[in-house]
Chains A and B, each alone.
Chain A
Amino acid sequence: MKRLCGILALSLASGLAMAAPGVALKDESVLSKPVAGSAAVGKLNKGMAVDIVAKQGGWLQVKAGGKQGWVRLLSVRAGAGGTGGNGLAGVAGVAGAVTQKSDSSRVVAVAGVRGLNEEDLKGAKFDAAELARLEGYTVSASQAQAFADKSGLKAVKIKALPKPESAAAGETP
């Protein structure tokens, strides 16, 4: 829910909707609860526009096609349809037009902010003093372990994620 405050703040600021726009990345059931295996209340089709209304752990509460329910956090991507990555332009194009307005206002708002660009990096001069400062903040392995112990953070054995078989996740030719 906390994260959604950020996303929601965007759409609230634009005054358009209570929810943040998103696009379904795959065909998936919309569940009644944020728990795998709970009852399905609807279905997402890849490319479908959704409204993201809440987040809980690895789940998003979405509204789509008149239904409201929960899908996995990564089954939907936030952002208005047409403004996603190029790879999604194909699937998202249709859904895109709906929420474009809220984004264009944002571009104007930040147009004056000049970022860290390629030229800045190319022209950068080695800064020995800043590097020394950086190295002065170094935390040792034992300090990190003590921090974890105090925080109740325990190292967990977790398997590496496999490379997806279809390299085409979200990419349409």
Chain B
Amino acid sequence: MKKIFSILALLLGAQVASSAAFDLGNILQLPEPNKQKKTEQPAQPSSAQSSAISPLMLLGKTPVAEEVRIGRQVAGDLLGAAPLVKDDTLQRYVNTVGRWVAQQSGRKDLTWHFGVIESEDINAFAAPGGYVFLTKGLYKRLNNEAELAGVLAHEIAHVSKKHHLDLLKKSALIGTLAQSVSKEVKSGDQAVQNLIGNGAEMLARGLDKDAEFEADRIGAVFAARAGYDPWGLPTVLQDMAAINPGDNRLALLYKTHPSAADRVAHLGEAVGDRFDSLPAGKEFPERFYRIK
């Protein structure tokens, strides 16, 4: 194994030159090819802070601003449980790949944020408004950029389908509290917290199984639409299926998700031979950023 590591180190070293491609400062600021749709709305978190939440309708200045305001609270709470991995290159890389995949999601209106969090667990999370996280434990299992794109795409699908937002709307928690004065305090957005409780707790409750199967179907397609190999997400699911489900690192994932084995079966049923005719996607195993 040591040899492999040193070869890897060489490869990584050799990549320094080419990895300038990831130095976003060097990337040309090209104009977007698609004109912005007229339905798009600004989704700046800062503007979200000034609006109050109407419990039943979750109305704000705009629905998007309200969605972002909720997601921001959930994200801040999750980061309180597990901070970001201290690796700027990693975080920029994940944001770059993630944003490109998110451009295929129909939610170009959002300002997307992606983060790798400090945990050896194997898991990933999404919060409304474009906040997406994966654990270091999951990231370290990935072999190429197509697999990363697949994992991020599953979470992007949750956001684009508003799975968590719908859950909150259905939840009894919404409506129990009247309008709150909106103030950003040290603990975050008190009005949102009053409505949804601890945002991270929502992530511990999870979604229903159908939402997860749906996010697998949509996620595989989003990644393929971004030009990646469509088998990234299926391969990650197979990898997880190969791990004993009793493994501690999967405990929270399996509390909130169907088993990887069931997800493989459902996704397989949906895919069938439909990916046979797709153009060959990219995997980028060489440039895939590996955590030291």
Partners in one complex: yes
* A86 pairs with B234, CB closer than 8 A: no
Given that A124-B198, A155-B104 are known contacts, is A57 also in contact with B29, CB under 8 Å in the complex?
no
Point out the residues of chain A lying under 8 angstroms from B102, CB to CB. Answer: 144
Given that A124-B198, A130-B79 are known contacts, is A170 also in contact with B264, CB under 8 Å in the complex?
yes
Stretch from B48-56, B58-66, B171-179, B218-226 contacting the other chain: B218-226
* 8 Å CB contact of B229 from A57, A148, A155: A57
Q: Chain B 74-86, CB within 8 Å of chain A: the 1/0 string?
A: 0111111111100
Given that A88-B261, A115-B120, A116-B81 are known contacts, is A149 also in contact with B242, CB under 8 Å in the complex?
no
How many residues on the B side are at the interface (Cβ–Cβ under 8 A)? 114
Q: Chain B 212-233, CB within 8 Å of chain A: the 1/0 string?
A: 0010011011001111111100
Of A57, A150, A151, most buried by chain B (CB within 10 Å of CB) is A151
* Shortest distance between the CB of A153 and any CB in chain B (Å): 4
Point out the residues of chain B lying under 8 angstroms from A159, CB to CB. Answer: 221, 274
* A161 pairs with B270, CB closer than 8 A: yes
* B226 pairs with A36, CB closer than 8 A: no
* B278 pairs with A156, CB closer than 8 A: yes
* Shortest distance between the CB of A33 and any CB in chain B (Å): 13
Point out the residues of chain A lying under 8 angstroms from B88, CB to CB. Answer: 137
Point out the residues of chain B lying under 8 angstroms from A157, CB to CB. Answer: 225
Q: How far is it, in angstroms, between the C-alpha of A122 and the C-alpha of B80 when the chains are bound?
A: 10
* A163 pairs with B214, CB closer than 8 A: yes
* A155 pairs with B214, CB closer than 8 A: no
* A72 pairs with B268, CB closer than 8 A: yes
* A160 pairs with B221, CB closer than 8 A: yes
Q: How far is it, in angstroms, between the C-alpha of A130 and the C-alpha of B108 when the chains are bound?
A: 24
Q: How far is it, in angstroms, between the C-alpha of A20 and the C-alpha of B238 when the chains are bound?
A: 11
Q: Chain B 113-153, CB within 8 Å of chain A: the 1/0 string?
A: 11100011101000000010001000001011001000000
A17 at the interface (CB under 8 A from B): no
Q: Which of A96-121 contact B (CB under 8 A)?
A: 103-104, 106-107, 110-111, 113-118, 120-121
Stretch from B8-16, B162-170, B199-207 contacting the other chain: B199-207
B180 at the interface (CB under 8 A from A): no
Of B77, B187, B268, B275, most buried by chain A (CB within 10 Å of CB) is B268
* A127 pairs with B79, CB closer than 8 A: yes
Known contacts A58-B275, A147-B100, then 17 further A-B pairs from the complex at CB < 8 Å, ordered by chain A residue: A3-B239, A7-B238, A10-B242, A74-B267, A85-B245, A106-B247, A115-B121, A116-B119, A120-B82, A128-B76, A137-B114, A139-B112, A147-B27, A148-B226, A155-B103, A156-B227, A169-B266
Which residues in B have some Cβ–Cβ distance to A below 8 Å?
Answer: 21-22, 24, 27-33, 45, 72-73, 75-84, 88, 91-92, 95-100, 102-104, 108, 111-115, 119-121, 123, 131, 135, 141, 143-144, 147, 186-188, 193, 198, 200-201, 203-204, 214, 217-218, 220-221, 224-231, 234-235, 238-239, 241-252, 255, 258-262, 264-271, 273-276, 278-282, 284-285
Which residues in A have some Cβ–Cβ distance to B below 8 Å?
Answer: 2-3, 5-7, 10, 20, 23, 25-26, 36, 55, 57-58, 72-75, 77-79, 83-88, 103-104, 106-107, 110-111, 113-118, 120-128, 130-131, 133-135, 137-164, 166, 169-171
